[in-house]
Chains A and B, each alone.
Chain A
Amino acid sequence: MILLLSGATLLVLTELNRRAVERILIEQAEVQAAIATNAVTEGLDGVAGGAERMARYVARELTGRVPGREEAERIAARVVLDNPNVHGFALAFEPAATGAASARLGVAVHRSRRVEGTDTFDLTAPEQTYWTREWYREVIDKGHVVWSEPYFDRGGSERNAVRVAVPVFRHETDDRTPIGAVAAVIDLDWLRRLANVNEFSDTSFTIIFSRSGRLILHPKATYMIAETIETLAEKTNTPELATIRQAVLARRQGAAAYTEPVPHRRVHVNYKPAKTAGWGVIVGYDEAEFLKSQTRYRRITALFIGSLLAVLSGIVIWVVHTALRPLAALAAAADEIAKKNLDCAVPEPVRPDEVGRLTAAFRNMRDALKHQSLERRWAAQAVEHQNRYNQLIIDSIREQVFVLTKALNISRVNPAVLHATGLAEVNLVKAPFARHVRLADGGEVAAVLGAALKENRALRDLPAILRGKDGGQQSSWLSLVPLCDGGRVVGGVVTLRDR
């Protein structure tokens, strides 16, 4: 029982300790995740926000004027070359703004696939027709900055990209009638680098999604652009992701934990909305990685406790085998002795310890009891033998023998009396001696015998008559010997012999 209680207490304490340590480890991981989330968000705002600011600057510089084609190309090329994360830059204007109703201006400069080169495109070309493009139309129609959804820039950079478009107004005070737009195409490869730089553990990961929920960055490259937070939540059976997106849309930051079914793992995430473009950032990590040491500790502890219990069990088994079992044998022997079976088996006292000494003492006790029992049986048979022998002697006497009490009643007779009187023993015992015997000289037998006993004096050969069953009489010589016990007369023995 003590062993079980100790084991249970140890397990409870170990479990409490494990939970406390796990809590500390998770808290430390969450701090790291929060730091990483802030760093990614700030990095995002730094690059994407920088691109937006640069586009705004160009748009503001062009307020109220339309540059010539060469100037436009120069501006675009300069922006691309000065901003490594900007893949392309475009300037496009409404026909009326150029002063000639039919004239349109639209140029784009993209970073060339050649080293440090650029490619220039005429956006008025039949295959471009910028005024029909969504990015342009949306800015002109809405009159404010428009961030596109991330997209794969097919035929351009052949990379994932996002575009920010800024309207160019006619006057600085005018924010209603755009005369054109500038747009920067931002290469999203830097996001991967940003995420890598801020990884804080082997399993940490970063997810960035757009305002609409489209995945801009995800550890699985195939999910990027192709999936949204919602489809990902459905695909991975983690509805918590959709909840996180709602929180980001509401401009809230926070932390959450959820379990991914496949592969089964407990994931902790920290999320935060970016200032730029309504994007959201999620930084997460696998709980198991941070509890690895704790898990190892648990295994070691379990192994230790298991070993400890095995050792303790071994000790218990050993104690049962070496101490309790011999004691059980002694208890069984004690039961047998209590049933007066003194021939019961008691184990050999082969051990030098207390159990061995107890066993030896037990054997000695049994032997002593056995010896005592033998002595009693021997004494009883000796007394019986002696009585029987004495009786044989008395019975063999041919003279009539009466044993009298002090009050002169018959207490015992020999067979010769029965033969002489023809009476049964039951008729004689307890009867007064004077009823069956009288003195021949007429004297009172009771008075004579009583006086002799009182004086502890023997009588010899007094003439007497023994009365028989049928009134017959037998002349006898009566002798009396006082019966003494420790010097005190307790009765007398009368013998009658034929006269």
Chain B
Amino acid sequence: MPAHILSIDDESEIRELLRDVLTASGYRFTGVSTAVEALRVVRADPPALIITDLQLEESDGFELIDELKVVAPRIPIILLTGVLFDPEVVNGAVSRKIAAYVEKTAPLERILQTVKQHLPA
């Protein structure tokens, strides 16, 4: 049974690219664009890993992360955003809530490695 990965991003192209690379790597992929959809998926079909953007249509990633941590505190979350943070900022602001922070400018290979690192074997 392939691991289920949930991606939340308001840009459809990002979701499509993630779908291509993650399904090619053998994962089951669900992509949504809003926090509401994300919470619904988490309750109905709990993923093994969540990848979320910071800027969403109806909320932001920080709020969503907080809500996800309430609903599914054990699911690792990777913050994937084009908003560049200083690593110190990340450590101070969200490091306790997320498993990893990856910039959207990072190559897919690194994103994939990060995913593999935080998925149970």
Contacts and interface: CB of A to CB of B under 8 A. Distances in A.
Q: Do A and B come from the same complex?
A: yes
Interface of A: 367, 370-371, 374-375, 377-379, 381-383, 385-386, 389
Interface residues of B, number: 15
Contacts of B82: 382, 385-386, 389
B17 A385 contact: no
26 contacts: A367-B24, A370-B20, A371-B24, A371-B109, A374-B17, A374-B20, A374-B24, A374-B108, A375-B107, A375-B109, A377-B17, A378-B17, A378-B21, A378-B107, A379-B107, A381-B17, A381-B104, A382-B82, A382-B104, A382-B105, A385-B11, A385-B14, A385-B82, A386-B82, A389-B82, A389-B83
Nearest to B103: A382
Interface of B: 11, 13-14, 17, 20-21, 24, 82-83, 104-109
Contact of A374 (B11, B21, B106): B21
Contacts of A382: 82, 104-106
Given A382-B82, A382-B105, A371 B11 contact: no
B18 to A, nearest CB: 9
B107 A385 contact: no
Contacts of B20: 370, 374
Contacts of A379: 105, 107
Nearest to A378: B108
A163 B9 CA distance: 131
Given A374-B20, A377-B17, A379-B107, 5 more contacts: A374-B17, A378-B107, A381-B14, A381-B104, A385-B11
B104 A385 contact: yes
A394 B105 CA distance: 20
B116 to A, nearest CB: 14
A436 B118 CA distance: 56
A375 B108 CA distance: 6
B13 A371 contact: no
A371 B21 CA distance: 7
Contacts of A375: 107-109
Interface pairs A-B: 3 shortest CB-CB: A382-B105, A385-B82, A378-B108
Contacts of B106: 382
Contacts of B21: 371, 374, 378
B44 to A, nearest CB: 28
A379 B20 CA distance: 14
A381 B12 CA distance: 11
B24 to A, nearest CB: 7
Given A382-B82, A386-B82, A389-B83, A371 B14 contact: no
Nearest to B109: A375
B19 to A, nearest CB: 10
Contacts of A371: 21, 24, 108-109
A375 B104 CA distance: 12
A370 B105 contact: no
Contacts of B105: 379, 382-383, 386
B12 to A, nearest CB: 11
